[in-house]
Amino acid sequence: MIFSRHKDIPEEISKVGLKEWYSGLSDQDKVKVGRYLKEADTSSLQKFCLSIMNKAGQEENHYVTVLIGEMLLGRSLDPFDRFDAIESVIPSYFGLGRYDDCLRCCDEGIEFIKINMNAIIKRNGGSLPEIIMCRNYTINVLIGAFGDYEAGDAALDRFFEMGLISEEDVNYRKQSHKIHKMQRTFDGIFTMKLKDQ
Protein backbone atom coordinates (compact mmCIF):
# COMPACT_ATOMS: atom_id res chain seq x y z
CA MET A 1 0.00 0.00 0.00
CA ILE A 2 1.32 3.45 -0.93
CA PHE A 3 0.80 6.25 1.58
CA SER A 4 0.61 9.87 0.46
CA ARG A 5 3.16 12.36 1.80
CA HIS A 6 0.38 14.94 1.76
CA LYS A 7 -1.92 13.15 4.18
CA ASP A 8 -3.47 15.39 6.82
CA ILE A 9 -2.28 18.68 5.34
CA PRO A 10 -3.95 21.58 7.17
CA GLU A 11 -6.28 23.69 5.04
CA GLU A 12 -4.25 26.84 5.73
CA ILE A 13 -1.10 25.19 4.39
CA SER A 14 -2.88 24.03 1.24
CA LYS A 15 -4.31 27.50 0.57
CA VAL A 16 -0.85 29.09 0.32
CA GLY A 17 0.77 26.26 -1.63
CA LEU A 18 3.09 24.91 1.05
CA LYS A 19 2.18 21.21 0.89
CA GLU A 20 5.66 20.08 -0.10
CA TRP A 21 7.36 22.19 2.54
CA TYR A 22 4.97 21.13 5.28
CA SER A 23 5.25 17.45 4.37
CA GLY A 24 9.02 17.68 4.85
CA LEU A 25 8.73 18.97 8.42
CA SER A 26 9.27 16.73 11.41
CA ASP A 27 6.18 15.88 13.47
CA GLN A 28 7.53 18.13 16.21
CA ASP A 29 7.88 21.10 13.87
CA LYS A 30 4.39 20.51 12.47
CA VAL A 31 3.02 20.84 15.99
CA LYS A 32 5.00 24.02 16.60
CA VAL A 33 3.80 25.61 13.36
CA GLY A 34 0.27 24.32 13.89
CA ARG A 35 -0.21 26.56 16.92
CA TYR A 36 -0.32 29.59 14.62
CA LEU A 37 -2.30 28.33 11.63
CA LYS A 38 -5.83 29.27 12.69
CA GLU A 39 -4.98 32.96 13.05
CA ALA A 40 -2.69 33.12 10.00
CA ASP A 41 -3.53 35.34 7.03
CA THR A 42 -3.96 32.98 4.06
CA SER A 43 -4.62 35.67 1.44
CA SER A 44 -1.07 35.21 0.10
CA LEU A 45 2.07 33.25 0.89
CA GLN A 46 3.90 36.39 1.99
CA LYS A 47 1.12 37.52 4.36
CA PHE A 48 0.74 33.98 5.69
CA CYS A 49 4.41 33.71 6.58
CA LEU A 50 4.70 37.21 8.04
CA SER A 51 1.56 36.78 10.15
CA ILE A 52 3.01 33.62 11.71
CA MET A 53 6.49 35.11 12.09
CA ASN A 54 5.17 38.23 13.79
CA LYS A 55 2.90 36.30 16.16
CA ALA A 56 5.64 33.81 17.04
CA GLY A 57 8.08 36.67 17.49
CA GLN A 58 5.73 38.42 19.91
CA GLU A 59 5.69 35.23 21.97
CA GLU A 60 9.49 34.95 21.69
CA ASN A 61 9.03 31.66 19.87
CA HIS A 62 12.16 32.37 17.88
CA TYR A 63 12.49 28.85 16.52
CA VAL A 64 9.20 29.07 14.60
CA THR A 65 9.96 32.58 13.34
CA VAL A 66 13.29 31.43 11.92
CA LEU A 67 11.80 28.19 10.56
CA ILE A 68 9.19 30.12 8.58
CA GLY A 69 11.53 32.98 7.76
CA GLU A 70 14.24 30.82 6.24
CA MET A 71 11.66 29.03 4.12
CA LEU A 72 10.30 32.36 2.87
CA LEU A 73 13.71 33.91 2.24
CA GLY A 74 14.71 30.85 0.26
CA ARG A 75 12.09 31.75 -2.35
CA SER A 76 12.07 34.31 -5.12
CA LEU A 77 10.51 37.42 -3.60
CA ASP A 78 9.73 40.98 -4.56
CA PRO A 79 12.52 43.17 -3.07
CA PHE A 80 10.14 44.86 -0.61
CA ASP A 81 8.65 41.51 0.42
CA ARG A 82 12.16 40.23 1.07
CA PHE A 83 12.95 43.32 3.15
CA ASP A 84 9.81 42.78 5.26
CA ALA A 85 10.78 39.14 5.82
CA ILE A 86 14.30 40.14 6.85
CA GLU A 87 12.97 42.71 9.30
CA SER A 88 10.74 40.03 10.86
CA VAL A 89 13.41 37.35 11.22
CA ILE A 90 16.24 39.54 12.55
CA PRO A 91 15.10 39.68 16.22
CA SER A 92 14.65 35.91 16.34
CA TYR A 93 18.12 35.23 14.97
CA PHE A 94 19.37 37.42 17.81
CA GLY A 95 17.11 35.66 20.31
CA LEU A 96 18.55 32.29 19.29
CA GLY A 97 22.11 33.55 19.60
CA ARG A 98 22.68 33.23 15.84
CA TYR A 99 24.53 36.51 15.73
CA ASP A 100 26.33 36.02 12.42
CA ASP A 101 23.03 35.26 10.68
CA CYS A 102 21.46 38.24 12.41
CA LEU A 103 24.22 40.58 11.29
CA ARG A 104 24.13 39.19 7.74
CA CYS A 105 20.42 40.01 7.51
CA CYS A 106 21.03 43.44 9.06
CA ASP A 107 23.65 44.21 6.42
CA GLU A 108 21.26 43.16 3.64
CA GLY A 109 18.47 45.25 5.13
CA ILE A 110 20.66 48.34 5.49
CA GLU A 111 21.85 48.00 1.89
CA PHE A 112 18.23 47.73 0.74
CA ILE A 113 17.33 50.91 2.65
CA LYS A 114 20.30 52.72 1.15
CA ILE A 115 19.11 51.92 -2.38
CA ASN A 116 15.37 52.34 -1.75
CA MET A 117 15.23 55.14 0.83
CA ASN A 118 12.71 57.30 -1.04
CA ALA A 119 10.40 54.37 -1.74
CA ILE A 120 10.50 53.28 1.91
CA ILE A 121 9.62 56.80 3.07
CA LYS A 122 6.76 56.98 0.57
CA ARG A 123 5.42 53.58 1.60
CA ASN A 124 5.47 54.67 5.24
CA GLY A 125 3.44 57.82 4.62
CA GLY A 126 6.25 60.35 4.27
CA SER A 127 8.74 59.33 6.96
CA LEU A 128 11.01 56.48 7.88
CA PRO A 129 9.52 53.75 10.09
CA GLU A 130 10.16 54.44 13.78
CA ILE A 131 11.37 50.89 14.30
CA ILE A 132 14.00 49.62 11.85
CA MET A 133 15.21 46.20 12.95
CA CYS A 134 18.24 46.03 10.69
CA ARG A 135 19.52 49.31 12.14
CA ASN A 136 18.73 48.51 15.76
CA TYR A 137 20.04 44.96 15.78
CA THR A 138 23.28 45.89 14.04
CA ILE A 139 24.14 47.77 17.23
CA ASN A 140 22.72 45.02 19.44
CA VAL A 141 25.00 42.45 17.82
CA LEU A 142 28.14 44.58 17.57
CA ILE A 143 27.91 45.95 21.11
CA GLY A 144 25.78 43.49 23.08
CA ALA A 145 27.02 40.23 21.54
CA PHE A 146 30.48 40.95 20.12
CA GLY A 147 31.59 43.80 22.40
CA ASP A 148 33.03 45.59 19.37
CA TYR A 149 32.58 49.20 20.43
CA GLU A 150 34.65 50.65 17.59
CA ALA A 151 32.49 48.88 14.99
CA GLY A 152 29.34 49.89 16.87
CA ASP A 153 30.30 53.56 16.84
CA ALA A 154 31.26 53.33 13.16
CA ALA A 155 27.83 51.86 12.42
CA LEU A 156 26.19 54.79 14.21
CA ASP A 157 28.17 57.23 12.06
CA ARG A 158 27.08 55.38 8.93
CA PHE A 159 23.43 55.43 10.01
CA PHE A 160 23.67 59.18 10.66
CA GLU A 161 25.11 59.76 7.18
CA MET A 162 22.22 57.73 5.71
CA GLY A 163 19.65 59.73 7.66
CA LEU A 164 18.59 56.75 9.79
CA ILE A 165 19.43 58.37 13.11
CA SER A 166 19.76 61.91 14.45
CA GLU A 167 23.03 63.50 15.58
CA GLU A 168 21.58 63.75 19.08
CA ASP A 169 20.89 60.01 19.12
CA VAL A 170 24.38 59.26 17.82
CA ASN A 171 26.00 61.23 20.64
CA TYR A 172 23.70 59.71 23.26
CA ARG A 173 24.34 56.16 22.06
CA LYS A 174 28.10 56.64 21.83
CA GLN A 175 28.11 57.87 25.40
CA SER A 176 26.06 54.82 26.40
CA HIS A 177 28.63 52.61 24.66
CA LYS A 178 31.43 54.19 26.71
CA ILE A 179 29.54 53.48 29.95
CA HIS A 180 28.74 49.95 28.80
CA LYS A 181 32.41 49.31 27.97
CA MET A 182 33.54 50.63 31.35
CA GLN A 183 30.98 48.45 33.11
CA ARG A 184 32.13 45.38 31.20
CA THR A 185 35.75 46.15 32.07
CA PHE A 186 34.87 46.63 35.74
CA ASP A 187 32.85 43.39 35.80
CA GLY A 188 35.77 41.54 34.22
CA ILE A 189 38.23 42.85 36.82
CA PHE A 190 35.83 42.03 39.65
CA THR A 191 35.36 38.48 38.34
CA MET A 192 39.13 37.98 38.09
CA LYS A 193 39.60 39.15 41.67
CA LEU A 194 36.96 36.73 42.90
CA LYS A 195 38.67 33.86 41.09
CA ASP A 196 41.99 34.80 42.69
CA GLN A 197 40.54 34.67 46.19
The string of DSSP codes covering 16-29 is TT-HHHHHTS-HHH
Nearest to 66 by CA among 20, 101, 24: 101
Closest CA to 86 of 130, 144, 136, 42: 136
What is the per-residue pLDDT for 182?
84
d(CA 99, CA 114): 22
Compute CA distances 140 → 99, 125, 152, whole Å: 9, 27, 9
Contact call for residues 66 and 50 (beta carbons, < 8 A):
no
Rounded to whole angstroms, the Cα distance separating 104 from 178 reads 25
Contact 24, 8 (CB under 8 A): no
Our CA angle for 146, 101, 174, nearest 5°, is 35
Nearest to 44 by CA among 70, 77, 6, 3: 77
Q: What is the pLDDT along the chain (197 residues), one digit of tens a residue?
A: 333 455 689 999 999 999 999 999 999 999 999 999 999 999 999 999 999 999 999 999 999 999 999 999 999 999 999 999 999 999 999 999 999 999 999 999 999 999 999 999 999 999 999 999 999 999 999 999 999 999 999 999 999 999 999 999 999 999 999 888 888 765 554 444 444 44
pTM of the model: 0.88
Q: What is the pLDDT of residue 180?
A: 82
